[in-house]
Chains A and B, each alone.
Chain A
Amino acid sequence: MNKEQTIEELKNIVKPYIQNQEAFDVLTEDTDFINDLKINSANLVDVILDIEEKYDIVIDNEAMERMVNVKAAMSIIEAKLSEKN
């Protein structure tokens, strides 16, 4: 899986929910969904559901717990995709 490509895909997923455009414009692996992008925590559920739909994976509760930044989201996507294959 290509890292840059995943970051781009994630950017598209979170875009509708962000409330801080500057942080979004300079998004990196270390960007925090809540502290940096100011995504409302109820919308974090939508981000998770959107990721599940896009990659056709199931994000279990244990994985969901860690879903607070770009890096965690990427590693969860990667792990769930490799479980699938």
Chain B
Amino acid sequence: MIGNDIVDLALARKESNWKRNRFLDKIFTKNEQQIILNDVNPEIMVWNLWSRKEAAYKIYNRETGIRGFFPLQLECSFENVTMGTVYIKKKIYFTQSKIKNDSIYTISVVEKEYFKKIIRIDTAEEILKKNGIPFIIDFETKTDKPVSITHHGRFWKGITLMD
């Protein structure tokens, strides 16, 4: 299982005001808020942690079928700007985030080894959906391959796992 999420920082700046009263309280735990407010660039940290939660939610949603808005339950453990884990209930997801070109991109996986098996797909690929979950049909084996897609502002990313 994999999940991904991208934030276009320029668009996020336009769409959201993270300094809005109680905004942080609704989505970040006390620990996460500490990490954000202690950072030299709190704004970037807001979207870094947010993209981790979103990427992890995609796996959780697929694994459990649970849909809802519960960002506080997806708690980030912050290793460094790139690596981290997200906990929800008794589940743990690993995250890898990249900050570049005015974007923050996070990939989440259930096993750390999967990071090496991530392949990018491009927009030309035909993406189908089953129960709201996107997949592609593998050209060689003709079998379904789950994918994760994310789109925000100027950016689009799609990934799948190597067999």
Of the four ranges (under 10, 10 to 19, 20 to 34, 35 or more), the interface on chain B belongs to: 20 to 34
Per DSSP, are chain A's interface residues mostly helix, strand or loop, or mixed?
A: helix
Contacting residue for B68 out of A17, A48, A52, A65, CB 8 A = A65
Knowing A40-B152, A49-B26, the reply to whether A64 touches B70 (Cβ < 8 A) is yes
Across-interface contacts of B32 in A (CB, < 8 A): none
A42 adjacent to B15 (CB under 8 Å) = yes
Across-interface contacts of B139 in A (CB, < 8 A): none
Across-interface contacts of B20 in A (CB, < 8 A): 46, 49
B54 adjacent to A41 (CB under 8 Å) = yes
Please report which residues of chain B, range 62-105, place their CB below 8 angstroms from some CB of chain A when the two chains form the complex.
Answer: 67-73
Answer whether residue A74 sits at the interface, using C-beta atoms and an 8 A cutoff: no
User: Complex formed: what's the CA distance from A47 to B80 in Å?
Assistant: 31
Knowing A48-B26, A49-B23, A64-B26, the reply to whether A42 touches B68 (Cβ < 8 A) is no
Across-interface contacts of A17 in B (CB, < 8 A): 15
B23 adjacent to A65 (CB under 8 Å) = no
Smallest CB-CB A-B distances: 3 pairs: A65-B68, A65-B70, A45-B26
Taking A42-B15, A44-B69 as given, write out 18 further A-B residue pairs in contact, using a Cβ cutoff of 8 Å, ordered by the A residue number: A17-B15, A40-B15, A42-B16, A43-B15, A43-B16, A45-B23, A46-B23, A48-B26, A49-B21, A49-B22, A49-B26, A61-B73, A64-B26, A64-B69, A65-B70, A66-B69, A68-B67, A68-B68
